[in-house]
Structure 1
């Protein structure tokens, strides 16, 4: 997912301590026995992912725990001994969605097939800029040398902007990896919800593939539908991440399929372990690490699960919209200092 509109990492890492949202939201300290499926999870896999980003956490208590984790203790014992599960948001059910890293076919120069560009951030962008419709209808970016690559489908460009990162396989077989490079400052609006509002689909029918097919069948109306979302995302080349690793998340580290979750840092500190209890057709009980954010991920019980790279991951991610519960694991001292008694 896209980081929170270019917010400095230090602010994201500490945001949950500085906002009034945390203080005004119900919180309850739980026991590990209260976590459904806790004993059956692969805690070592979660600890490995935690180690990928914990050295970047600025708080001394987190730093101490990171140092202990680097000694490779028994993973389950480590989490149970030094953390406490905290339910934030009371009885409000969680909403889980999923995201992935698209892999698109493209070209380094445009032609009759590859004619839809991915743009890098324009130098004059500062705060709120033009809307998606204005950028596209007025061709505000064309011919300025801001193109990174061209792909063959405008819907792919749109969904790549929603995902915030991706890989473009060029005609010579080489790969260009792109990541979030900024946005125009307008809020994200769901085109899936817009299709539901128009009465074209029921809520249970909407998925990324359904949206993709509808836009392709209705090119003129589809263009207007995509412009219902005024947010426009720019990209940057990512040249230092090996192909076998995941894309960069909000902490500027590679994220891990099925172990990384995007959260709202106003309620869940980036880098923290998060216990997921997702319902739906494919229930999930797993310890993940909060390593990413997203413009659509807002609230204490809202999370986006990273499913991986490519079309199969995209199809699986597009089917996820499930209720459940998420519980953040906080260091013991932080949990008892921040959670009101009673």
Structure 2
């Protein structure tokens, strides 16, 4: 989703400070407290940081970005200009993954290509509440208006494209259309995985994106009703200027980087900030990433979504990820200390 950066950054510190006094725990660390910090490829993190830092408006960030653009020693750069800060609310960290899906589609309907990918209707004001998913897909409101970008061959894949917010559509002639988030109907996201657990169909540990897709395909009637459980509907726009070797646009309207971009809750983590990820679980990750994206299901200071790349392989890896750990935000030194409770008086 696209956020207005100036508004996010001008309000972020004030809003966080107001919350911090009552509900948020803040702890300033040293870089020696970050597990495996010495072993990371800091140069890759710096390159990801440079993708978006020039868009930051706050003076603290602009001066740091100016230094980053001189391509200093990456590890020394982060250690010199930042302080690691743990922002917590008493809820354990949760890491999930996301990716850029690839769908099969066509520019006109016919045969297997019967599920439209829509642009946002012009009558919907920005982020206002509109019709539900069921009403959009079963009613006449979208018909005959020329709002279709393409038609794809799988309604379930289209549903997950809406969850991811961006993707690629492969046409029969080999060309590819890239689409990105173009708005929504304003309804809150409802997890269909959680709904399957509530119904007793699966246990929590069994649910993944692929498991959900398989169940919906095996149960087309019940499956369609399950998809309607999530009233959120996402519209798209075409993205013609992104090079094929670059990632999709994130919330900062810049390409995200495989394995180095993380989606966060901007109420707690400023977009553009470096984030040290300590993900536990089956395949532990200790890596410096950059908060360059957001997501409707990403809520809380210790909630993050890691970008895994494009295509089915990335999708399988992202869909299996649901692990604990710790997220540490790297903030400009003065800002980090200003957030401490004693400095908020």
- Normalized against structure 2, the TM-score is what? 0.95
Once the 2 structures are TM-superposed, how far is the Cα of residue 14 of structure 1 from its aligned partner?
4.1
Once the 2 structures are TM-superposed, how far is the Cα of residue 337 of structure 1 from its aligned partner?
1.1
Alpha-carbon spacing, 1:187–1:283, altered in 2? closer, same or farther (3 Å):
same
Task: Identify the residue that residue 17 of structure 1 maps to in structure 2.
Answer: 13
Task: Identify the residue that residue 224 of structure 1 maps to in structure 2.
Answer: 225
Task: Identify the residue that residue 323 of structure 1 maps to in structure 2.
Answer: 324
Partners of 2:14 and 2:247 lie apart in 1 by: 30
Task: Identify the residue that residue 179 of structure 1 maps to in structure 2.
Answer: 180
Task: Identify the residue that residue 115 of structure 2 maps to in structure 1.
Answer: 116
* Structure 2 residues not aligned, in runs of 5+: none
The question of 1:340 aligning with 2:341 is answered yes
| 3-state SS in 2 of match to 1:144 | coil
Is this contact kept in 1: 2:20–2:341, CA < 8 A?
no
| Aligned counterparts, 1:90-109, within 5 A | 92-109=91-108
Task: Identify the residue that residue 240 of structure 2 maps to in structure 1.
Answer: 239
Alpha-carbon spacing, 1:238–1:22, altered in 2? closer, same or farther (3 Å):
farther
| Aligned counterparts, 1:1-342, within 5 A | 3=1, 7-19=3-15, 20-23=18-21, 24-89=23-88, 92-126=91-125, 127-341=128-342
* Structure 1 residues not aligned, in runs of 5+: none
Once the 2 structures are TM-superposed, how far is the Cα of residue 15 of structure 1 from its aligned partner?
4.5
Q: What do the CA deviations read for 1:85-112 (whole angstroms, capped 9, x no partner)?
A: 0000065321000000001111001111
| 3-state SS in 1 of match to 2:341 | coil
| 3-state SS in 2 of match to 1:213 | helix
Q: CA RMSD in A?
A: 1.3
| 3-state SS in 1 of match to 2:79 | helix
Is this contact kept in 2: 1:21–1:266, CA < 8 A?
no
| 3-state SS in 2 of match to 1:167 | strand
Partners of 2:20 and 2:270 lie apart in 1 by: 11
Is this contact kept in 2: 1:15–1:269, CA < 8 A?
no
| 3-state SS in 2 of match to 1:180 | strand
| 3-state SS in 2 of match to 1:261 | strand
Is this contact kept in 2: 1:16–1:22, CA < 8 A?
no
Q: What do the CA deviations read for 1:259-282 (whole angstroms, capped 9, x no partner)?
A: 000000000000000000001111
| 3-state SS in 2 of match to 1:129 | coil
Partners of 1:76 and 1:299 lie apart in 2 by: 28
Once the 2 structures are TM-superposed, how far is the Cα of residue 195 of structure 1 from its aligned partner?
0.1
Is this contact kept in 1: 2:190–2:232, CA < 8 A?
yes
Alpha-carbon spacing, 1:296–1:315, altered in 2? closer, same or farther (3 Å):
same
Once the 2 structures are TM-superposed, how far is the Cα of residue 10 of structure 1 from its aligned partner?
2.1
Once the 2 structures are TM-superposed, how far is the Cα of residue 338 of structure 1 from its aligned partner?
1.6
Alpha-carbon spacing, 1:314–1:15, altered in 2? closer, same or farther (3 Å):
farther
Stretch moving more, 134-143 or 168-177: 134-143
Once the 2 structures are TM-superposed, how far is the Cα of residue 17 of structure 1 from its aligned partner?
1.8
Q: What do the CA deviations read for 1:44-91 (whole angstroms, capped 9, x no partner)?
A: 110111011101111111111111111111111111111000000065
